[in-house]
Amino acid sequence: MDLTLTESEAAFRDEVRSWLEENHPGPAPEGDDAAEFEFRRIWQKKMHEAGWAGISWPEEYGGKGATLIEQSIFNEELARQRVPAPANVLGLVMGGPVVIAHGDEEQKERFLEPILSGDEIWCQGFSEPESGSDLASLKTRAVNTNGSWKVTGQKVWTTYAHEAKYCMLLARTDQDAPKHKGITYFILDMDQANVDVRPLRQITGEAEFNEIFLEEAEIPDENIIGEVGGGWQVAITTLMFERAGLGAAAVLGLKRTMEDLIAVVRERGLDDDPVIRQKIAQLHIGIEAMRLGSLRALTQTMKSGIPGPEGSLSKWEWADYNQALTELGNEVLGPEGMRAGSDWSYRFLRSRANSIEGGTTEVLKNIIAERVLGLPRLR
């Protein structure tokens, strides 16, 4: 057991750190979503030119080929220096890795480079109004018509759909097969009349997400990833890798919020309040436990090569602790915490989604119960 960085890990961190210090683009512009997105696109291009954009991608596909520990160090540095996210987040963490793992040579040739450069933005069309946690029940259907497919249905919670060139789309291609077997993984060109994107306004007032309405949208055969009917497996294997290496950055985000919270508590003269002190300590302990649990999981993944279901614990902790932190901030601030549009009221409201997005806490508990503890399946 050694929690210090090895010489080469420390050298890697120093390299990342100094590059970011020299090339930090400054904070993204606020208030204008389109301008912000363009800012992040330019930033991604700069990262790509220096080889950082595809941090987890193999070198032969233009990536950095970083180990999981290095990815973790990299993401932690990004969070530490409050670097804006690259524009094509979903392409980088999901779209590219899917194509690399399951795509053919032509698909790799066609899709990978523009993902890295940010020239083609990707979004993800998985969830549907009637298929949330039970994703495999999805109803969007694709019908084969001589070398191309016509897709009809509705997708929801689609981040960046209005900016995206391509959508990772799960659609049912066999109505008669068992529900997990009849699904195919497509790459949908968003640039066509049969794709209608509408923003979805959230309780925070902003519209981070979209709905997509598909009416006989066209997808050519060559845009199928993997086998027809094999889409579920493709989606699952890549979902498992989605969070690898992201734990450290999530922890750093929580630590940031904790620092801000402590500053507020001091400002308002509540640092001697025994109840507040206990709550802050409790959260400190939880966040530290999450940091250490992520490191333990990372060590295991490095050994076995496959992320285990224990990663569900970190996601669960993150949601719980972020919600508790922002609730406490909201509470200690008095009226300012309730003011519409204030920083803390936004954080407080936005964190309500943490226990829903990317796997509800209930689904995570099911995974832990069934796959870690070996309890009998519910279904």
Partner 1 sequence: MNFDLNDEQQEIKRTAHEFLAARFKPEKVRELADADSYDDSLWKEISELGWPGIAIAEEDGGQGLGMIELVVLLEESGYACAPSPLLGTAGAALVISAAGSDEQRSEWLPKLASGEAIGAFGGFSDGESTIFCDLPRADVVVTFDGEGALLAPASEVDFEPFKAIDSTRSYGLVSEATGERLPGDVDAGRDRLAIAIAAELTGIAQRALEMAVDYARERQQFGRPIGSYQAVSHRCAAMLLATEESRSLTYYAAWTADAEPESLPMAAAMAGARSADAGWEVPSSALQVLGGIGFTWEHDLQFWLKRGRVAGRMLGTPRDHRERVADLSGLGESQAVPA
10 Å CB burial of residue 158 (0-12, 13-18, 19+) is buried
- Taking each helix axis from N to C terminus, what angle separates 274-304 and 247-267, rounded to the nearest 10 degrees? 170
Nearest to partner 1 of 349, 369 (CB atom): 369
- Taking each helix axis from N to C terminus, what angle separates 274-304 and 68-80, rounded to the nearest 10 degrees? 150
* Token output for 239: 């979902």
10 Å CB burial of residue 41 (0-12, 13-18, 19+) is middle
Nearest to partner 1 of 175, 304 (CB atom): 304
Residue 50 Cβ, how far from partner 1 at the closest point, in Å?
24
Would you call 15 a catalytic residue per the annotation?
Answer: no
* Token output for 12: 């890697």
Residue 299 Cβ, how far from partner 1 at the closest point, in Å?
5
Nearest to partner 1 of 10, 177 (CB atom): 10
Residue 17 one-letter amino acid: R
Residues within the interface to partner 1 (CB under 8 A): 1-6, 9, 69, 259, 262, 265-266, 271-272, 274, 277-278, 280-282, 284-286, 288-290, 292-293, 295-296, 298-300, 303, 310, 313, 316-317, 362, 364-366, 368-370, 372-378
Nearest to partner 1 of 132, 230 (CB atom): 132
CB 360 within 8 A of CB 308: no
* Token output for 270: 């509540």
Nearest to partner 1 of 152, 300 (CB atom): 300
State the catalytic residue, choosing from 211, 242, 327, 331.
242
How many angstroms separate the CA atoms of 9 and 292, rounded?
18
Residue 276 Cβ, how far from partner 1 at the closest point, in Å?
8
Residue 58 Cβ, how far from partner 1 at the closest point, in Å?
22
Residue 250 Cβ, how far from partner 1 at the closest point, in Å?
15
Cα dihedral 280, 282, 283, 288 in deg (nearest 10)? 120
Residue 376 Cβ, how far from partner 1 at the closest point, in Å?
4
Cα dihedral 37, 28, 89, 320 in deg (nearest 10)? -120
Residue 375: count of CB within 10 angstroms of its CB:
11
- In degrees rounded to 5, what are phi and psi of residue 143? -115, 135
Terminal-to-terminal C-alpha distance of the chain: 40
Q: Would you please indicate which residues are annotated as catalytic (active-site) residues? A: 242
